[in-house]
Structure 1
Amino acid sequence: METATVAADAASGMAVHDDCKLKFLELKAKRTYGFIVFKIEEKQKQVIVEKLGEPTQSYEDFTASLPADACRYAVYDFDFLTAENCQKSRISFIAWSPDTSSVRSKMIYASSKDRFKRELDGIQVELQATDPAEMELDVIRSRAN
């Protein structure tokens, strides 16, 4: 019966803390942050901001801020040059779900993702990653064009 309880809990979805929307708007409008890592706080049944990255921090700093064995949502402000040499920026949403995280955690993050994403208006690229190779800059660049 335990799996039924996990599924019922996971399906309920999570509230989104106002701070998540606020920080996302600051990233989008003012470029205050280079990235934001979000975490589901199960006891409070809500998504919260776990880490804010400075605009000067690298993509490596961003990927290093994702735990190796726990799920997270993240938003990364990706700047790049197009083939025509135009500077572009794409706000990328990454659903980080490493193979080593618990089944319960994967279910909760998967079932809450769409609702959470809807709260963040302005996402241009979406990635689902279970391993760092699935979210390398080249992958984002290919989706961003």
Structure 2
Amino acid sequence: MQHLEWPVHDDCKLRFMELKAKRSYRFIVFKIEKQQVVVEKLGGPNESYDDFTSSFPADECRYAVYDFDFTTIENCQKSKIFFIAWSPDTSKVRMKMVYASSKDRFKRELDGIQFELQATDPSEMSLDIVKGRAI
């Protein structure tokens, strides 16, 4: 194991399964703290995409998953789970390195992610981009 890969707290996997299977949450924001990935925030099923994007700190990296609901051209209700790697330009270089080096391992722990977005500013994870990738 590389020294920059942090263990994933069991709670991360548990909450992700609840989002995926029971739709208990709209989104989950994760952070690396005390050398492990932990849940920072759970977004309730009725929270909006704006609530989600406002959960990211302006100058710190985060991982997040978002359960995006949409209607297809055939009028079918669908949902896709997005993984977002938030790495703002203003965050510290070491923090960016830690998040970048741990991302793939962390993502593998969350079975069921359909799309990934990397964002360095809010425009790179706008709702239009999410819609464009999902549909």
Question: What TM-score do you get using the length of structure 1 for normalisation?
Answer: 0.89
Q: List per-residue Cα deviations over 1:61-88 (Å, max 9, x = no partner).
A: 0000111110000000000112222211
Question: What TM-score do you get using the length of structure 2 for normalisation?
Answer: 0.96
Q: Which amino acid aligns with 1:98?
A: P
How many pairs does the alignment contain?
Answer: 134
Q: Within 2, Cα distance between the matches of 1:84 and 1:138?
A: 20
Q: Which is greater in Rg?
A: 1
Larger helix share, 1 or 2: 1
Unmatched tracts of structure 1, length 5 or more: 1-9
Give runs of aligned pairs for residues 65-104 of structure 1, distance below 5 A: 65-104=55-94
- C-alpha RMSD over aligned residues: 1.1
Which of 10, 19, 29 is the matching residue for 1:18? 10
SS at the partner of 2:112?
coil
SS at the partner of 2:133?
helix
Residue identity (%): 74
Give runs of aligned pairs for residues 42-121 of structure 1, distance below 5 A: 44-121=34-111
Unmatched tracts of structure 2, length 5 or more: none
Q: 1:27 maps to what in 2? A: 19
In the TM superposition, what is the alpha-carbon distance from 1:11 to its structure 2 partner?
5.0
Q: Within 2, Cα distance between the matches of 1:12 and 1:37?
A: 20
Q: 2:115 maps to what in 1? A: 125
Pairing 1:139–2:132 present: no
Q: List per-residue Cα deviations over 1:23-42 (Å, max 9, x = no partner).
A: 0000000000000000001x
